[in-house]
Amino acid sequence: MRQLFPAYLDPVQPAEVYADPPAVRVNMISSADGAASVDGRSGGLGGPADREVFHALRAAADVVLVGAGTVRDEGYGPSKTVLAIVSRSCHLDWGAPLFTRPGARPIVITVATAPESERARAREVADVLMAGEDTVDLRQAVGELTARGHHHVLAEGGATLNGALLAAGLIDELCLTLSPHLVGGASRRIVAGAPSEVSRDLVLRSACEEDSFLFLRYAVGSSNDSRKGG
């Protein structure tokens, strides 16, 4: 991989590019036309360099925050990095390798209204963190993760979770892989469900390239509202 910005470096290691993680970093891949998945999964957009970046970002994180939809759709497996799964329903496949094979014990973040039977099943295979009544209060959830020593959160999507993080003003950094594909179709973008008034400006921190993939690291800046109001 070579770095194009802020300085030209060839080669550069992903671990160098993505050092000094902020409190909450989001990592997503998108096609050049904005699709976040192909046939319901993101794998069709990736490549070897993207996988390297994925692993470098995980290595720099204390915990991976992920939506239950992504865990189900992408068939998440066990990980050395702690996985914290956000689920309102608390309905996950408790017999899946993620919960039964060796790896860091996952955390399930759910709400008071989730069925007690599911919460009891979750407690057998994971730590259960309650944050909110009907909807996971992500600010509270991130606060509880920090209190457990997880200071650097890597959010891996999907779009619904990203929308909730954006709406809560919790995203400090976006690591976006721009995949050199035009996929068409009706796939979602990388953020869904957040009202447009929560939009944020981004400031480019670094840009790298390999095999026509672009690896863009953005700091999340101020709300666009302040500009509109001014």
Ligand X SMILES: NC(=O)c1ccc[n+]([C@@H]2O[C@H](COP(=O)([O-])OP(=O)(O)OC[C@H]3O[C@@H](n4cnc5c(N)ncnc54)[C@H](OP(=O)(O)O)[C@@H]3O)[C@@H](O)[C@H]2O)c1
Task: List phi, psi (to 5°) of 212.
Answer: 70, 0
**Which CB, 84 or 229, lies closer to ligand X?**
84
Query: Is 119 among the residues that bind ligand X (CB under 6 A)?
Result: no
Among 91, 151, 200, 205, binds ligand X (CB under 6 A): 91
Least CB distance to ligand X at residue 138 (A): 6
**Which CB, 9 or 69, lies closer to ligand X?**
69
**Which CB, 17 or 142, lies closer to ligand X?**
142
Residues linked to residue 109 through DSSP beta bridges, in sequence order: 86, 129
- Alpha helices by DSSP H, listed for 107-185, are 116-125, 138-147, 159-167
Which 132-151 positions form the footprint of ligand X (CB under 6 A)? Answer: 135-136, 138
Count CB-CB contacts under 10 A for residue 200. 17
Which 45-64 positions form the footprint of ligand X (CB under 6 A)? Answer: none
Query: Is 69 among the residues that bind ligand X (CB under 6 A)?
Result: yes
Which segment (32-40, 50-58, 99-107, 119-127) binds ligand X by CB under 6 A?
Answer: 32-40
Task: List phi, psi (to 5°) of 28.
Answer: -145, 155
> If we measure between CA atoms, which residue out of 42, 31, 134 comes closest to residue 87?
134
| Residues 154, 147: Cα–Cα separation, whole Å | 16
Which segment (51-59, 81-89, 94-102, 207-215) binds ligand X by CB under 6 A?
Answer: 81-89
Least CB distance to ligand X at residue 159 (A): 4
Which 186-205 positions form the footprint of ligand X (CB under 6 A)? Answer: 192
Residues linked to residue 2 through DSSP beta bridges, in sequence order: 209
* Residue of this chain nearest to ligand X (CB atom): 158
Strands across the sheet with 200-210, in order? 2-5, 200-210, 213-223, 173-179, 24-31, 153-155, 63-67, 82-86, 107-110, 127-130
Cβ–Cβ < 8 Å for 17, 206: yes
**Which CB, 73 or 172, lies closer to ligand X?**
73
Query: Is 17 among the residues that bind ligand X (CB under 6 A)?
Result: no
Tokens of 202: 């981004």
Query: Is 106 among the residues that bind ligand X (CB under 6 A)?
Result: no
Question: Can you give the binding site for ligand X, defined by CB under 6 A?
Answer: 28-29, 36-37, 40-42, 67-70, 73-74, 86-89, 91, 135-136, 138, 156-161, 164, 192
